[in-house]
Amino acid sequence: MAEPLARLQHLLDLLNRHFPDYDELELSRPLQPGGWSRRQILGHLLDSATNNYRRFVLCQLEPEPFHMTSYQQDGWVACGAYQAPPATELLQLWTLYNRQLARLLDQLTPAALQHRCEFENGYNVTLGWVVEDYVVHMEHHIRQIIG
C-alpha cells in the first residue's frame, strides 16, 4: 500500500499547488465542447472518492465477492452543481476527503487487499486492484485539470 499511498499524497499536493493558479473563468469553462470544466472534473473526483470509499469499506465487510455497482458519473456531476461553490471550497473538501481515504487505505492488511470484488459485467478483481485503479483514475483527471 505504500506506493499507491505515496502517489495519492503526491496528487493531493500537485492539485493543491496548481488549482489555485486558475481564475474563475478558466475553472468554469468546459475543457472541450460539451465536456466538463476543471471545477466539474474536480467534482467528479470528489464523487469518485465518495463512491470508492464506500467500495473500500464494503469490500472488507461484505461476503466475497463484493458486488461493485457503477454510478452515473454525469448525473452525479450534475446533481453536485460543482459550477456554483467557490473553487477553494471544492478543493478543500476533495483534499480532506482523500486524506481520510488515505487513512483508510493505510490500515488495510495484506489479507484485506486480497478480498475479491466483482463488477456488474462479471469482471473479478482484488481490493488491491480497485485501490490502484482509483489512483490511476485520479492521475488521469488531474492531468486534465492542470494540462
Whether residue 147 has pLDDT greater than 90: no
1 band by pLDDT with thresholds 50, 70 and 90: confident
CB atoms within 10 A of CB 134: 22
This prediction's pTM: 0.96
Q: Comparing C-alpha atoms, which of 7, 76, 84 is closest to residue 46? A: 76
Mean per-residue pLDDT, 62-75: 96
Question: Is the distance from CB of 12 to CB of 99 less than 8 angstroms?
Answer: yes
Strand (E) or helix (H) holding 136: helix 127-146
Average pLDDT, the chain: 97
43 band by pLDDT with thresholds 50, 70 and 90: very high
CATH architecture group of domain 2-146: Up-down Bundle (1.20)
Sign, CA torsion 43/7/54/91:
negative
